[in-house]
Amino acid sequence: MIPRIALMALCTVASAAAECVPVSGERILAADMARAVPAFAGLAPELALGFAPSPGSRRVYNAAELVRLAKRYGLALEPGAAACFVRPMETLTRERVAAALKKVMPAAQIEIVDFSRQPAPPGELQFPADGLDVEPSSHAPLLWRGAIRAAGQDDFPVWAKVRIAVRGTRVVAVAALLPGRPIAAGQLRVESYDGPPGLPDLADVIGRAPRRFIPAGTVIERPWLDAPSDVYRGEDVCVEVDSGSARVLLEGQAQSSGRRGEVIAVRNPANGKILHATVTARGRVLVATGPVARLGTGATGL
């Protein structure tokens, strides 16, 4: 059976814990403690006295802890004092998410399909533009990653799934586009549309190379495009042979396409020999080897 005095002490602590002081930062400050125990009001308000609880949990100071803390700063406490602190949590609302998204894309039509509903700490809700995963080829909602930000605490990640319609332009192929071949302006047209963001504009398409066959009449999408190659299969290239003590220039025919730094196959039209060369610039490749005499018949035995 619990003695009456001990029971009264437990009730005092429980009562104090039931009235927890909310804190927003990572530390419990003297100003926070003074709201629970007025004797701490004499300390500098920004003085950190301890770590705050994790979001959604409580930190209770019992009488013995408070006595030790008060003695450290020369304070006198009333018997049985206790303090409780809590990091409050809240649940996002559709209206709050919509307002945060609208700040980033004020001219867009944004439909919120779903959003994170786990309890979150208070703070400013932000959805940065680079948090949006744009996949215009997909009819599924787009994922937009955001965060709740507040001074003195780590960003708390949140998310929303949305459908977005913007007014802009899109690029359409007016002729079939072949993989690996740079796209010319005459193969494209531009038209207005209302739809999801993320489609490339004309400047993003001209000069790039399709990764796949694109039929005429198709709207161009960014994932289909590669940076243009510096050498294309079947074209004539300048082959530089570096043997250390000598340098030889000759013409060859590219057997594959490639960009700078990539190794491609090149055929010498004179004798049909295949070389492996590194692309160094537009229409130029380099073959690094030993002395030229080792290459075959004479200095140009490629």
Q: Where residue 263 sits, what CATH number does that domain have?
A: 2.30.30.760
Q: Is residue 113 part of a domain?
A: yes
Q: Which of 207, 275, 193 is nearest to 242 (CA)?
A: 275
Looking at the fold, whether 103 and 140 belong to one and the same domain comes out as yes
Give the rounded percent of residues in the chain with a pLDDT score beyond 70: 87
Say which range, 66-75, 110-119, 238-247, 268-277, has the weakest mean pLDDT. Answer: 238-247
Give the rounded percent of residues in the chain with a pLDDT score beyond 90: 52
Looking at the fold, whether 77 and 119 belong to one and the same domain comes out as no
Q: Which of 286, 297, 25 is nearest to 150 (CA)?
A: 25
- Given this model, what pLDDT does residue 6 score? 40
Looking at the fold, whether 121 and 221 belong to one and the same domain comes out as yes
Give the pLDDT mean for 200-214. Answer: 92
Question: Model confidence at 297, in pLDDT bands (50, 70, 90)?
Answer: very low
CA distance 14 to 123: 29
Q: Which of 70, 116, 86 is nearest to 25 (CA)?
A: 86
- Given this model, what pLDDT does residue 175 score? 95
Looking at the fold, whether 273 and 211 belong to one and the same domain comes out as no
Q: What is the CATH number of the domain that holds 187?
A: 3.90.1210.10
59, two tokens = 């930190």
Q: Which of 272, 276, 270, 240 is nearest to 258 (CA)?
A: 276
Looking at the fold, whether 144 and 272 belong to one and the same domain comes out as no
Phi, psi of 142 (to 5 degrees): -85, 145
Q: Which has more confidence, 123 or 162?
A: 162
Q: 160 has which bridge partners? A: 115, 144
Length of the chain: 302
Q: Which has more confidence, 117 or 12?
A: 117
CA distance 132 to 113: 14
Looking at the fold, whether 217 and 98 belong to one and the same domain comes out as yes
Distances (CA, A) of 274 to 115, 265, 271, 302: 58, 6, 9, 8
Please name the residue that has the structure tokens 């994790």.
54
Looking at the fold, whether 54 and 144 belong to one and the same domain comes out as no
Q: Is residue 216 part of a domain?
A: yes
Looking at the fold, whether 220 and 147 belong to one and the same domain comes out as yes
Question: Model confidence at 127, in pLDDT bands (50, 70, 90)?
Answer: very high
Could you say which of 55, 86, 117 is where a domain stops? 86
Residue 7: CB atoms within 10 Å: 11
Looking at the fold, whether 121 and 244 belong to one and the same domain comes out as no
- Given this model, what pLDDT does residue 83 score? 94
Q: In the predicted model, is pLDDT for residue 264 greater than 80?
A: yes
Give the pLDDT mean for 198-224. Answer: 91
CA 281 from centroid of its chain's CA atoms: 32
Strands 156-173 and 142-149: antiparallel
Phi, psi of 287 (to 5 degrees): -115, 115
Q: Is residue 300 part of a domain?
A: no
Distances (CA, A) of 122 to 125, 139, 203, 208: 9, 33, 43, 46
3-state SS class at 104:
helix
Q: What mean pLDDT value characterizes the chain?
A: 85
Could you say which of 201, 228, 255 is where a domain stops? 228
Looking at the fold, whether 138 and 200 belong to one and the same domain comes out as yes
Residue 131: CB atoms within 10 Å: 17
- Given this model, what pLDDT does residue 153 score? 72
Q: Is residue 289 part of a domain?
A: yes
Could you say which of 70, 86, 102 is where a domain stops? 86
Give the pLDDT mean for 168-177. Answer: 94
Q: In the predicted model, is pLDDT for residue 296 greater than 60?
A: no
Phi, psi of 13 (to 5 degrees): -65, -45
Can you give the residue range of the structural domain that contains 274? 236-295
Question: Model confidence at 195, in pLDDT bands (50, 70, 90)?
Answer: confident
CA distance 108 to 166: 5
Q: In the predicted model, is pLDDT for residue 135 greater than 80?
A: no
CA distance 282 to 143: 39
Q: In the predicted model, is pLDDT for residue 42 greater than 60?
A: yes
Looking at the fold, whether 93 and 223 belong to one and the same domain comes out as yes
Q: Is residue 23 part of a domain?
A: yes
Give the pLDDT mean for 257-276. Answer: 90
Looking at the fold, whether 77 and 184 belong to one and the same domain comes out as no
Q: Is residue 302 part of a domain?
A: no
Q: In the predicted model, is pLDDT for residue 3 greater than 80?
A: no
- Given this model, what pLDDT does residue 137 score? 52
Q: Is residue 282 part of a domain?
A: yes
Q: Is residue 162 part of a domain?
A: yes
Q: How does pLDDT run across 60-91, given as a tens digit for each residue?
A: 999 999 999 999 999 988 888 899 999 888 89
* Top-confidence range, 123-137, 159-173, 223-237: 159-173
Counted domains in the chain: 3
What is the H or E stretch that residue 157 is in? strand 156-173
